Structure 1
């Protein structure tokens, strides 16, 4: 597997600030594998991130699975999709060469935005021939500009990144709602609470932080949140932490104690109890089981 780590020459995290929107580019890459190579995929590819991941399949066919939602579909040339924050995905290659463009990014409201702001991911689609040709030109033009390292002030790179993101909006793959007053106050509180927990699951040790962020009593917020989602605040943040813990158990050799601290638990004992209650096996048994599945 060859990768093209295009952001190595960038210092810090690129930030594009528009009048009502901040775009943070965390990383981008172009993954490539030829079926004529002596080596093969040693295992399925696993992904998880604390931001959005754009996935565009340039070549090859495989199975792309959303492990968190227990759904899957065929990934084939022209597939353009978004992976949501915190959700685990796997890709199992089936045939042909494999080429895939990935972009990790975040959206944030700018200082000039209205009081209510929300973004939502709306899945995936396969681009038609003309759209596919246009989008792939954007990708390869971007990679060429970044490889040459001759642009002035990064403007060429930024303009091409914006063109790529505009396609997501035009195709309805990501929606941003910005109004002076939310149409549904309960939903707006739920979204705000959800976004905060998605971003602060590892350092939110007290619900008072969430209470301050949303500006309402925590008991009232909990009632609203459960009515909108079917889960309590505690159940939701636990599920977020468990998804991140599962990914770390599957893809790293970090100790159980280090994983516990990384996903927001004070020690391995409290983490192990929560993991077993939520998942069934202990963290260690889960890791052993997943490793056995990969070796089959």
Structure 2
């Protein structure tokens, strides 16, 4: 991927450069600016590999732009465009660190040669940077691993000049990932990339051994249980291996890591007693999390339940609790807040039919592009409203399913009826059937069945001489005592009293 900024005060010229770039090999992410001042703003907002700029522009010309851009971004490749009359300016631009220049009107062949040369230079620089990062990362992991298992700070003296200990001092939480097989022997390179793409936040990744890896985070104010659950769901989705995660208590800096590692190993022992739980936390943090302020992980669980039950009213309620927490609290990092609210959007997209109408990646990208908490909340609210509209549309399309369920109840009320059985009859999930049935009829499914059975029981008591036990069986009650109690609760009199036309409730038991 090559990130390019095209700077020209003529829209037609910018479109022409876009077209020429589209003919080149590789993927291009292109930004535009109409003058030098706007171009500097774009450079400060996005990482850019290459800037293509005209010389003559209002507010700030290409020469001044190139000079300032080179001062702020020494590795930026710069190509300028100039007419024949501006050739002297083009030569002067070389002094400002311009990589190359292209005369106007642009010759496609000359442009192609220039871009090819620039691509090789960018690729070479990135390869060197990546190699340097890998070497530094390897050395940091080597020294950190030795310290975690030995607790000997003397060993870290060898790392002076290689390790930035001021960064290590910023760590406040660790998440231990453990697999049931030697998964990290072959996946230690791809796993951190996958997790970064999912979380969209920085962390230090340390591969401990074939079965274990450690994530180290900086944020003090963060619900790391929620982070761990996201990591678990990601790994479960991408890899056919069993994972368990342990979340450390809060700590200050790398000096505590040997002690923290021991605690994480103890927490991980829980998997032998509770293998179906995949995220373990420290008892100390669990006690802290029972305070007045509800943890994000718990609120997200409620939001997930609301969505699975199609309970929009509760969904809005729990979302507003989440929004209120962050509108009144500025101690959380912007990236963490975006991470929390992106989880709400991701939960909405668990509904496959809703996901089919929208693009999750676009919505999440939109949210991460927000610059204020209010914008983040508005993007999330927009998605919830779209989800609500989707459910309303689904309702109108689901009336046939509701009618089919009601018809089945009318004809099989004497049988054992339950939500799961009826959902299977119309090929819907039980949660979705429950939602659309209540929306359409105004009452939940179990109440609807009970009301219909009571009506049928009243009809049989009025028009036949069946014994109460027989009536009970005919309307789907296996236990006649329970039927009598339900009838009394519903009509205010016992079945025998109703049959006799006496509304007084008889305390004595009926002859059955």
Same fold (TM over 0.5): no
TM-score of the aligned structures, taking structure 2 as reference length: 0.21
Judging by fraction of residues, say which structure has more strand.
Answer: 1
Q: Which has the higher contact order (CA 8 A, sep 6+)?
A: 1
TM-score of the aligned structures, taking structure 1 as reference length: 0.35
| Larger Rg, first or second structure (1 or 2) | 2
Judging by fraction of residues, say which structure has more helix.
Answer: 2
